[in-house]
């Protein structure tokens, strides 16, 4: 109903709609319990996490998962200008007939 008459209104009609959006999110790996071992380098000092990353093998691929989020946004229904605001040459005969039927309630 709104779309039928919205083409004859010169101000924007907006609806607040929800859309489902899918995103790729990185999965954080949880450390195993009891697996925490202090690593020691050749000199006998403890290795920090940053040093370990530098010394480790090439970077592992990060695991991702797809998450669906619901996003709410305003959607404009009547993007077309009203019939009386457009150029005469741009309006088709069909549009004139539809407009007449709408305002006169004629079939």
- Give the chain's largest Cα–Cα span: 95
pTM for the model stands at 0.40
Q: Please, are residues 17 and 72 in contact by the beta-carbon 8 Å criterion? A: yes
Q: Tens digit of pLDDT for each residue in 89-105?
A: 989 999 888 888 888 88
Contacts of residue 76, Cβ cutoff 8 Å, sequence gap at least 6: 12, 13, 14
- Listed range (27-31, 49-53, 85-89) with the worst mean pLDDT: 49-53
Reported as a single tens digit per residue, the pLDDT across 34-73 is 555 555 555 656 665 555 555 555 556 778 888 899 999 9
């Amino acid at each position: 109903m709104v779309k039928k008459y919205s083409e004859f209104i010169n101000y924007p009609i907006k609806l607040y709609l929800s859309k489902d959006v899918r995103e790729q999110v990185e999965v954080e790996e949880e450390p195993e319990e009891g697996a925490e071992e202090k690593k020691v380098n050749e000199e006998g000092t403890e290795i920090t996490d940053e040093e370990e990353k530098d010394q480790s093998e090439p970077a592992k691929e990060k695991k991702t998962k797809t998450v669906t989020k619901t996003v709410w946004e305003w959607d404009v229904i009547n993007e077309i200008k009203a019939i009386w605001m457009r150029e005469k040459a741009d309006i088709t005969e069909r549009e004139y007939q539809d407009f007449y039927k709408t305002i006169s309630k004629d079939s």
